């Protein structure tokens, strides 16, 4: 059974919620449980999105999209070159 996937904006908000709950004196385990994720998921999210603002997150996603487009263009051109040399 597949779980719900959170989008990056929701992830950043949940990370902020954990910070607030920790500031109120809760343990990380309790705070993570309250936002509805597991501890490994929380630490993975914190590693990837920790300290990001929404603007930085938006810019990251734009760069990832552009990178994907450029990789596709390079692979198409490489394939064309191989076909022409044969």
Q: Which residues span the domain enclosing 64? A: 54-85
pLDDT the model gives residue 33: 94
**What Cα–Cα distance (Å) separates residue 47 from each residue in 40, 53, 81?**
11, 14, 40
Same-domain check for residues 1 and 17: yes
Same-domain check for residues 37 and 2: yes
Tally of structural domains, the chain? 2
Same-domain check for residues 41 and 77: no
Whether 55 contacts 2, CB under 8 Å: no
72: helix, strand or coil? helix
Q: How many residues does the chain have?
A: 86
Same-domain check for residues 47 and 36: yes
pLDDT the model gives residue 75: 95
Same-domain check for residues 1 and 32: yes
pLDDT (tens place) for every residue of the chain, 86 residues total: 556 788 888 888 899 999 999 999 999 999 999 999 999 999 999 998 887 887 888 888 899 999 999 999 999 999 999 999 88
Same-domain check for residues 62 and 48: no
Same-domain check for residues 10 and 39: yes
pLDDT the model gives residue 3: 65
Classify residue 12 by burial, with Cβ atoms within 10 Å: 0-12, 13-18, 19+.
buried
Same-domain check for residues 46 and 60: no
The model's pTM: 0.65
Q: CATH number of the domain that 47 lies in?
A: 1.10.10
């Amino acid at each position: 059974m597949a779980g719900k996937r959170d989008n990056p904006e929701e992830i950043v908000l949940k990370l902020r919620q954990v910070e607030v709950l920790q500031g109120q004196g809760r343990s990380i385990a309790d705070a993570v449980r309250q936002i509805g994720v597991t501890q490994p998921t929380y630490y993975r999210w914190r590693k990837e999105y920790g300290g990001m603002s929404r603007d930085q997150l938006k810019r990251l996603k734009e760069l990832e999209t552009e990178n994907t487009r450029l990789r596709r263009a390079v692979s198409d051109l490489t394939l064309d070159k191989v076909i022409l040399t044969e």
